[in-house]
Amino acid sequence: MTALLTSAPRAARKPRYTADQVPLSTVIWRMVAGAVVLLIFVIPYLIMFFGSVKTKSEIRSVEPTYFPTEWHWENYLTMWFTPETPLVQNLISTIVISVFATLLVLLVALPAAYYTARARFPGRLVFMFLVIVTQMLQPAVLTSGLFRQFGFLGISDTWLAMILINAAFNLSFAVWIMHSFFAGIPKEVDEAAQLDGAGRLTVLFKINLPLVWPGIVTAIVFTFVACWNEFAASLVILSTAGNQPMAVALTKFVGQYETSWHYVFGVSIVAIVPVVVLFMLIEKRLIGGLTAGSVK
Amino acid sequence: MKKSLRLGGIVVTATLATMSLASCGFGGGNASGGSGGSGTTVNLLVPSYSDNTQALWEGVISDFEVANSDITVNLEVQSWDNLTDVITTKVQGNAAPDIMNGGPFAGFAADDLLYPIDEVVSADTLADFQSSFVENASVDGVQFGAPLLASARALFVNEDLLAQAGVTAVPTTWSELLDAATKISAIGGGVAGYGLPLGSEEAQAESAVWFYGAGGGFGDASAITIDTPENLEAAKFIQTMVDAGATQADAGATDRSPLMDVFVQGKIGMIIGLPPTVGQIAEGNAALNYSVNPIPTVDGKAFTLGVADHLMAFKNDGSKQEAITKFLDFFYAADQYVPWVTAENFLPTTQSGSDAMGDTPALAPFIEALPGAQFYPSTNPNWSATDAAFKSLIGQLAQGKDAQTVLTEIQAKSDEG
Amino acid sequence: MTQTIHEPPTQTGTATGRPRSGPARQRAAAGTRLSDLISALPWIGPALVLIFGVVLFPAVVMFYNSTRDISLSGLDKGPVGFANYATLLEFTPLGGIMLRTLIWVVAVVALTVLISLVLAQFLNKSFPGRQIVRLAVIIPWAASVVMTTLVVYYGLEGYIGIINKFLVDIQLIDGPYGWTKNPVSAFSWSIGIAVFVSLPFTTYTILAGLQSVPGDILEAAKMDGAGRIRTYFGIVLPQLRGALSVAVLINIINVFNSLPILKIMTGSIPGYDADTVMTMIFKYIQNEHKIDVASALSVVAFLIVIVIVAIYVKVVKPMKEV
């Protein structure tokens, strides 16, 4: 853990901070605070990680160990081939469902968010409120209706069903998040462009979109993460083991009398990585890029 | 398994969904069940007993499909936690599985969802079930459950801790148990005398051990009786155990599985265990010096709590009776059933299975105790509510709540249904 | 889908072409005509279709089930009017459950927002290693809530828990304590976890909002000699209003509806002293198999959260344009 403390500041030595013209003591103070924040946010997942390379018995030992006595890296290999669940298929399932649900959300929510922020029409407030009302329903109770509905449509136990469900249940937050960012752009920007003869779509894509990237990114990540971890509906809609996402697959390691915690933790770590990578890509290009030097 | 992933398709489907819903309301059609092509599809929903459950069933199914090429079996394995959710949702959606492995079945039987078991197994298979399980698998004389596996409880004792505490004999009565447990707890270093899991996971089982051990119990198929003098005596004795420090800390909120891990690792003197506990010890800490003994009771009279899980067959549209029968007969034949039940570390419910496994020494104490076992009154319509009440309320005993009040509360919840 | 996007610009252009008539536009007549609604449809229609196509039916089923008698196995036994609601009213612990639900939502949301404001401000400053710290902050978001909670739960376990061991090792407590076995401590830890997993989203929303604070305005404020605190409350915070108010709204709804944390952390505690509306719904479904009463409680929960959100929208006006 001490290694992390020191490695964190060293890793990203970029010339940027010198341009800030803040005293060295301030920079050091920030680095220390940063290390503390880093630790707080990482510790539970370090515990998870160390657990994932312990043996099944060490993880349940009544003399708990902070670090594994032996590092069983092979857990990360064997977990793909357990009798409990076809994890490779589960991973593919999770990726397909999350990616397509997120794309669908983006495609449908972006125009709605833009238009409600920019144009006035009767029922605009009603629309926004109705959309968010759908989020207030308790998922645990909705599943039985969802199951009936998709059974009736004949697409129970398909990825398509889960893509639709995930998209529908994340749409409203995406609309609201993007709406708030669109609304934050001064109207004059649009008007100037429209005076130049630009159509609404041109204004949206050429002028507004670049300005609200951070908001769109927030909405994308929000949606993707929610789809990635969705459980309640997948549990009842997807009955074939191979179709199920990782969140459901995890529960297969929980037996009646014993649980393979090392696999539960290992799979969780594996499930976290793609989201963090996705975020890393987006964060660097978008938020990070925009941030440079804008606010101190 | 072909998935339509084209976005255009998705949007069209969403639109269709809205339109078809608007027109049909609560029609609630039958979900895709079987009849895909010429063969029959049997849907099998089972809970996960262990790491092996999925693989064991897959083995049975592939053998079965080789022998019956016109029948396909769809396996769905769920954890025990999720099983109830999944089955209620399926029943509500008119898409019950054809065969399910579960515990209590009285609710399904009452709703006329199940085949009487004699309609879906051959006479030979039916005759092979041990008679002690048949009664427990029947409602008003009609057998709805095919007993799948059984467990019995026994007192697991850590012999080393017992010796270290200077206790010479395994306790058979409550007062001996209290004495021995107090002495073991006194060893210190995180050692507890008696492991008392009254947390929600399986609170009804630990309660049953004490209530039946006091000569009381939970009642029968016609009446649930929780608030009785015998049960009160048991409840008060549980509190005596806790107050004397003879148990682990926070007994009222301790779940069974994690506590069993602690016993396996030698930090608990005595605990009530099941047949799979034997396997867990062999795997987790083979060096543990332990013995399996009869459960101590108020007067030393032996008793055990038996639990049997069942396979049940859902009627649905009534078209798969023949296929279901073929599968059940195939499964209960000794060559399939015995390896299955052995691998899951449970006790067999068939005569042929019992004969085949009778010489397994580790399970001998359980198989011996089983004929005299007491079962939950799980065919009583109010059992489900009683079970829930135990899970959520009995732990309050260990938190110092008045014993009589706790029993009254549970009885009330139970009567409410 | 493609059709809606390739809607001829002229059509939408005419509907909102009004800006050209100068600053005195809008207000009076704008956005009240039916034609305005029709031209809005291509933009909002797909969203409406998707949401209501999927959600409407299950929602109706929920309301419907709350007035039915549903058997243990899930079979509908006929109408019972409001009997399920009456069952709820007779359930004495319900008062405490409601109160705890309120505490839960208020505490989690308030703490989340306060900490996020500070954290976002900090992450917006440049220092070496900031990228990595930002990435670390995202992890609780990327991890499923269930897993994060399980790790803490097992960390707090009396016998095998690492957090308990750590607290003992640094001599903060004498021996392992049953954190998850007593209502108050389990509930408090749950609040902590809920805040922890809500921080990434809220912090990032604020962080993204901070990017839209124009640098030149801050520069100007500096020139005018405005202090940091005045700049923050006078310029930065108002600018964050849009993003923040939506983040709070989403948090309120999510926290209210959150089940896994409390289910795991307080699940083994007997009685109802650590339950909220959501865990109670879960107990009705999972333990007591009462889908009908669970549906009734869900309807009640739904109405409560709708009222809360309506009040919030009315007071905070997250849709108010800047």
Tally A–B CB contacts below 8 A: 150
Residues of A in contact with C50 (CB under 8 A): 104, 108, 164, 167-168, 171
Apex A175 CA angle, A173 and A177, nearest 5: 65
Chains contacting chain B through 3 or more C-beta pairs under 8 A: A, C
Nearest-Cα residue of chain B relative to residue A234: B86
User: Cα torsion at C52, C57, C61, C62 (round to 10°)?
Assistant: -20
The more confidently predicted of residues C295 and B2 is C295
Amino acid at B101: N
Interface of A with C in 70-89 (CB under 8 A): none
CA distance, residue A120 to nearest chain B CA (Å): 26
- Cα(C133)–Cα(C142) distance, rounded to whole angstroms? 15
Nearest CB neighbour to C71, from listed B87, B107, B399: B107
For residue C6, the model assigns a pLDDT of 39
CA distance, residue A107 to nearest chain B CA (Å): 10
- What is the rounded radius of gyration, in angstroms, for the C-alpha atoms of chain C? 25
Least confident of A57-61, A203-207, A263-267, C243-247: A203-207
Mean pLDDT, all residues of chain A = 81
Nearest-Cα residue of chain C relative to residue B18: C53
Determine the straight-line distance between the first and last CA of chain B, rounded to whole angstroms: 43
Least confident of A79-83, B154-158, B314-318: A79-83
Interchain CB distance below 8 Å, A164 and B14: yes
CA distance, residue A8 to nearest chain B CA (Å): 37
| B-interface mutation test, from A148, A240, A260, most B Cβ less than 10 A away | A148
Q: Contact at 8 Å (CB) between A133 and A122?
A: no
For residue A105, the model assigns a pLDDT of 95
The closest alpha carbon to B101, from B356, B341, B345, B403, belongs to B341
Classified by CATH at the fold level, domain B39-151+307-371 comes out as D-Maltodextrin-Binding Protein; domain 2 (3.40.190)
Q: Any CB–CB contact under 8 A between B74 and chain A?
A: yes
- Cα(B49)–Cα(B60) distance, rounded to whole angstroms? 16
Interchain CB distance below 8 Å, C306 and A136: yes
Confidence of residue A3 (pLDDT cuts 50, 70, 90): very low
Q: Which residues contact B95 (CB under 8 A, 6 or more apart)?
A: A147, A151, A156, B30, B31, B33
For residue B187, the model assigns a pLDDT of 92
For residue A195, the model assigns a pLDDT of 79
For residue C92, the model assigns a pLDDT of 86
Give backbone dihedrals phi and psi of B373, rounded to 5 degrees, phi first: -70, 145
For residue C258, the model assigns a pLDDT of 87
Least confident of A82-96, A184-198, B378-392, C7-21: C7-21
The pairing of beta strand B71-78 with beta strand B40-47: parallel
The more confidently predicted of residues A294 and C191 is C191
Convert the pLDDT of each residue in B269-312 to its tens digit: 999 999 989 988 988 889 999 999 999 999 988 889 998 899 99
Q: In this prediction, what percent of chain B has a pLDDT beyond 90?
A: 54
Q: Any CB–CB contact under 8 A between B206 and chain C?
A: no
- Cα(C100)–Cα(C255) distance, rounded to whole angstroms? 13
Secondary structure (DSSP) of A207-231: IIHHHHHHHHHHHHHHHHHHHHT--
Interchain CB distance below 8 Å, C268 and B253: yes
Classified by CATH at the fold level, domain A85-291 comes out as MetI-like fold (1.10.3720)
Q: Any CB–CB contact under 8 A between B161 and chain A?
A: no
Amino acid at B248: Q
Chains contacting chain A through 3 or more C-beta pairs under 8 A: B, C
Nearest CB neighbour to C211, from listed A136, A177, A287: A287
Residues of A in contact with B277 (CB under 8 A): 257
Can you tell me the mean pLDDT for A209-213? 78
Convert the pLDDT of each residue in A213-258 to its tens digit: 777 887 888 899 889 888 888 988 898 888 999 888 888 887 767 7
Nearest-Cα residue of chain C relative to residue B386: C288
For residue A188, the model assigns a pLDDT of 78
Interchain CB distance below 8 Å, B110 and C182: no
Confidence of residue A285 (pLDDT cuts 50, 70, 90): low
- Cα(C198)–Cα(A70) distance, rounded to whole angstroms? 34
Nearest CB neighbour to B49, from listed A151, A239, A256: A256
Domain pair B39-151+307-371 / B154-303+382-416, same fold:
yes
Architecture field, domain B154-303+382-416: 3-Layer(aba) Sandwich (3.40)
Interchain CB distance below 8 Å, C270 and B89: no
- Cα(A50)–Cα(A255) distance, rounded to whole angstroms? 22
- Cα(C221)–Cα(B93) distance, rounded to whole angstroms? 63
Interchain CB distance below 8 Å, B52 and A153: no
Burial class from Cβ neighbours inside 10 Å (0-12, 13-18, 19+) for residue C317 reads exposed
- Cα C205 to Cα A44, A230, B195, C121, C249, distances in angstroms: 23, 21, 49, 12, 12
Nearest CB neighbour to A119, from listed C16, C65, C128: C16
Interchain CB distance below 8 Å, C128 and A124: no
Q: What is the DSSP letter of C76?
A: E
Domain with CATH 1.10.3720.10 in chain A: 85-291
For residue B96, the model assigns a pLDDT of 92
Can you tell me the mean pLDDT for A253-275? 83
Residues of C in contact with B203 (CB under 8 A): 270
Residues of A in contact with B28 (CB under 8 A): 148, 152
Nearest CB neighbour to C1, from listed B7, B89, B201: B7
Q: Any CB–CB contact under 8 A between B285 and chain A?
A: yes
The closest alpha carbon to B255, from B360, B416, B395, belongs to B395
Interface of B with A in 353-412 (CB under 8 A): none
pTM beyond 0.90: the answer is no
For residue B45, the model assigns a pLDDT of 95
Convert the pLDDT of each residue in A14-51 to its tens digit: 444 344 567 888 889 999 999 999 999 999 999 999 98
- Cα(A62)–Cα(B288) distance, rounded to whole angstroms? 14
Interchain CB distance below 8 Å, A133 and C148: no
Convert the pLDDT of each residue in B185-209 to its tens digit: 999 888 999 999 998 888 999 999 9
Nearest CB neighbour to B18, from listed C49, C75, C268: C49
CA distance, residue A211 to nearest chain B CA (Å): 27
Interchain CB distance below 8 Å, C50 and B392: no
Q: Contact at 8 Å (CB) between B158 and B191?
A: no
Interchain CB distance below 8 Å, B84 and C286: yes
The more confidently predicted of residues B190 and B24 is B190
Least confident of B58-72, B143-157, C96-110, C209-223: C209-223
Interchain CB distance below 8 Å, A145 and C58: yes
CB atoms within 10 A of CB C239: 18
Confidence of residue B86 (pLDDT cuts 50, 70, 90): confident
CA distance, residue C295 to nearest chain B CA (Å): 13
| C-interface mutation test, from A136, A164, A179, most C Cβ less than 10 A away | A136
ipTM above 0.95, yes or no: no
Domain-wise residue ranges, chain B? 39-151+307-371, 154-303+382-416
For residue A93, the model assigns a pLDDT of 94
CA distance, residue A20 to nearest chain C CA (Å): 8
For residue B243, is pLDDT > 80? Answer: yes
Chains contacting chain C through 3 or more C-beta pairs under 8 A: A, B
Interchain CB distance below 8 Å, A152 and B31: yes
- Cα(C194)–Cα(C254) distance, rounded to whole angstroms? 10
Interface of A with C in 119-138 (CB under 8 A): 119-125, 127-129, 131-138
Low-confidence ranges of chain C (pLDDT < 70): 1-32, 319-322
Domains and CATH numbers, chain C: 1-65 (no CATH), 96-316 (1.10.3720.10)
The closest alpha carbon to B203, from B148, B158, B159, B254, belongs to B254
For residue B360, is pLDDT > 50? Answer: yes
Q: Contact at 8 Å (CB) between B261 and C160?
A: yes
Nearest CB neighbour to C181, from listed B14, B81, B250: B250
Q: Contact at 8 Å (CB) between C178 and B253?
A: yes
The more confidently predicted of residues A98 and B37 is A98
Amino acid at C83: A
Q: Any CB–CB contact under 8 A between B140 and chain A?
A: no
Edge-to-edge, what's the strand order for the sheet holding B154-158? Answer: B192-195, B268-273, B154-158, B290-293
For residue B6, is pLDDT > 80? Answer: no
Interchain CB distance below 8 Å, C181 and B385: no
- Cα(C278)–Cα(C253) distance, rounded to whole angstroms? 12
Nearest CB neighbour to A148, from listed B5, B47, B93: B93
Least confident of B3-12, B366-375, C195-204: B3-12
Q: Contact at 8 Å (CB) between B31 and B94?
A: yes
- Cα(A140)–Cα(A149) distance, rounded to whole angstroms? 15
For residue B312, the model assigns a pLDDT of 94
For residue B79, is pLDDT > 90? Answer: no
Residues of B in contact with A107 (CB under 8 A): 7
Residues of A in contact with C39 (CB under 8 A): 119, 121
Confidence of residue A284 (pLDDT cuts 50, 70, 90): low
Interchain CB distance below 8 Å, A144 and B81: no
Can you tell me the mean pLDDT for B62-89? 90
Tally B–C CB contacts below 8 A: 129
Confidence of residue B16 (pLDDT cuts 50, 70, 90): very low
CA distance, residue B81 to nearest chain C CA (Å): 8
